[in-house]
Amino acid sequence: MGDASTIIVGTAGKAYMGDVGATFPTGPEIAWGSDFTDMGFVTPDGLEEALEEERTQLDAWGEDAPVIDLAKKRTQTFKLVFRQTTAQLLSLYYQVGIDNMTSTAAAVGPPAKKQFISFGSGSLSDTVEIALGLDVIMSGKRHRIMIARAGVTEREAIKHSADDSSNYGFTFTALAAPGGAQSVQHQITDVPLPA
Give me the pLDDT at residue 136, please: 95
* For the chain, domain boundaries: 4-188
Output the pLDDT for position 90.
95
Q: Which DSSP symbol is given to 92?
A: H
Q: If phi over 0 gives left and psi between -120 and 50 gives alpha, with beta otherwise, what is residue 95?
A: left
pLDDT (0 to 100) of residue 180: 78
The long-range contacts involving 143-146, CB below 8 angstroms and separated by at least 24 positions, are: 143/8, 143/10, 143/28, 143/186, 143/187, 143/188, 143/189, 144/25, 144/28, 144/186, 144/187, 144/188, 145/49, 145/78, 145/184, 145/185, 145/186, 146/24, 146/25, 146/184, 146/185, 146/186, 146/187
Mean pLDDT by 10 residues, the chain (195 residues): 80 95 94 96 95 93 93 92 95 92 92 93 82 92 95 95 93 91 91 89
| Structural class in CATH, domain 4-188 | few secondary structures
**pLDDT at res. 33:** 95
